[in-house]
Structure 1
Amino acid sequence: MTTSMPSPSPRTKPAEVRLDELMNAAETLFLENGFDATTIAHITRAANVAKGTFYHYFASKNDILAALTARYTQQYVDQLETAVNACAEHDWPTRLRVWIETSVLTYAQSFRTHDMVYGGHHHHERDNAEKNAILTQLEHILQQGAQDKAWYCPNPAIVALLLYSGVHGATDALIAEPEQDHQRYARELADTCLRLLPLP
């Protein structure tokens, strides 16, 4: 009786694995040493790949930073969406509360990466896809809640902007005082935001 030998592992990693390794190496180095002090050679050495592999995926160091920005935002939006979708479908006050609390806790936990990927953004760059993706999510909750008469909100787009900016700024204040109870702070902030939305 003959037994078949297991096929050898592929010597070349799948493209998506190689890409993740490059991005993870770059993120770690940017956080540890700063963007300017990190070179492409540092990144390829940490990812254990040749420079040619880097240029297969990215044209420059700025290019990989842009990819890290997109990845961070997508992960952020996905966390918010997963948390909100776990709520009852038409319970808009709870869905808004969960969106705010998850936003606070996610940002407070990942602020170093946030600051790294958004470090080059300036106030004059007010219209960007990353912020718009989060605003769209929040605006949808406000709009649907208004339609179901959970609150009075004739202009969900403006209220979304106010809540987004307020929650972001309030979380910056939390980050500056890390000894605070993050869970309690997030709940109290959500309470405050919900009180700003009048009943219809």
Structure 2
Amino acid sequence: MRYKAKKRPSEISGSPRTKPAEVRLDELMSAAEKLFLSQGVEATTVNEIVESANVAKGTFYHYFSSKNEILEALAKRYTERFLESVQKAIDGCSPDDWEERLRVWIHANIETYVKTYRTHDIVYTAHHHHDRANQAKSAILDQLLEIIEGGRLAGIWAPNQPRIVALLIYSGVHGATDDIIASKTTDCTSFARNVSDACLHMLPRITAPKK
């Protein structure tokens, strides 16, 4: 991919560069995302993207060779923002309360997905979802696995196969959220609580020995 910012003169003749390259790139991607959401990827042209972003067409091709490349960049940005949103929620928890951290991870995943599923559906094609080397899935799964391992090391629960449990929770949360999106449910709180309860059953708690 060729969407990393590079220093270069302004492509608009006589127009001084007033924004950092990273800002211009982000605005270009945001313009594409907005158009993709409103009229679809296939119906959107590069000309419409650059017009909406108020940049020269050469600016687009400086960063991207095609709409497919900007979709890949949008997918990466979507994952980064998704992870940041979930991590911010987790960081508000007590560092040693692993059950709370898991519940918050689940709630934040559900809430963020419900809010952003339209962008999710655009940037992640059917092929991407069945890609067994899906980097976005791996990043979110690692975030979950860190919580499960933390609880295991703290003696809270004792899963025999932490990664398998993480995979089941990840897939279950994603699938359950698809269900409430389809039913147009807007209040995620009670739903997330129920999903959390179900997921915690997959993590057998360590019982203190009787005295």
Instruction: Judge conservation of contact 1:143–1:153 (CA < 8 Å) in 2.
Output: no
Q: Is the 8 A contact 1:69 1:117 kept in 2?
A: yes
- Which one-letter code corresponds to 2:84 in the other structure? D
**Cα distance, 1:78 vs structure 2:** 0.9
C-alpha separation in 2, matches of 1:168 and 1:179: 15
Q: 1:113 aligns with which of 119, 131, 141?
A: 119
Matched, 1:163 2:169: yes
Give 2:189's aligned residue.
183
| TM-score normalised by L of structure 1 | 0.91
Residues 197 and 69 of structure 1, relative CA distance in 2, 3 Å threshold: same
Q: How big is each residue's C-alpha offset from its partner over 1:112-134, in whole Å with a ceiling of 9 and x where there is no partner?
A: 01101112535541221111000
1:52 is the counterpart of 2:52: no
Deviation at 1:154, TM superposition (A): 2.3
1:76-100 CA-to-partner distances (Å, cap 9, x unmatched) read: 1111111112111111000000000
Determine the structure 1 residue equivalent to 2:37: 31
Structure 1 residue 181: Cα displacement = 2.7
Q: Is residue 128–residue 134 contact of structure 2 (8 Å, CA) maintained in 1?
A: no
- 1:155 offset after TM fit, Å? 1.6
Unaligned runs of at least 5 residues, structure 1: 1-9
1:23-50 deviation digits (Å, cap 9, x = unpaired) = 0000001111111111111100111111
Distance 1:68 1:122, change over 3 A: closer
3-state SS of the aligned residue for 1:121?
helix
Q: Distance in 1 between matches of 2:104 and 2:200?
A: 11
Q: 2:10 — aligned with what? A: none
String of CA shifts for 1:130-150, please: whole Å, max 9, x gaps: 110000110111111111111
Match of 1:5 in 2: none
Which residue is equivalent to 2:86?
Answer: 80
Residue of structure 1 equivalent to 2:75: 69
- Matching residue's letter, 1:83: A
CA distance in 1, matches of 2:85, 2:186: 23
Moved over 3 A (4+): none
Query: Which string of whole-angstrom CA distances, capped at 9 and with x for unpartnered residues, describes residues 36-69 of structure 1?
Result: 1111111001111111111111121111110000
How many residue pairs were aligned? 191
One-letter amino acid of the structure 1 residue matched with residue 59 of structure 2: T
Question: Match for 1:166: what amino acid?
Answer: G
**Could you say what secondary structure the match of 2:127 adopts?**
coil
AA partner of residue 39 (structure 2): N
Please list every run of 5 or more consecutive structure 2 residues that lacks an aligned counterpart in the other structure. Answer: 1-15, 207-211
Q: What is the CA–CA distance in structure 2 between the aligned matches of 1:140 and 1:123, rounded to whole Å?
A: 23
* Secondary structure of the corresponding residue to residue 152 of structure 1: coil
RMSD across aligned positions (CA)? 1.4
Paired-residue identity, %: 55
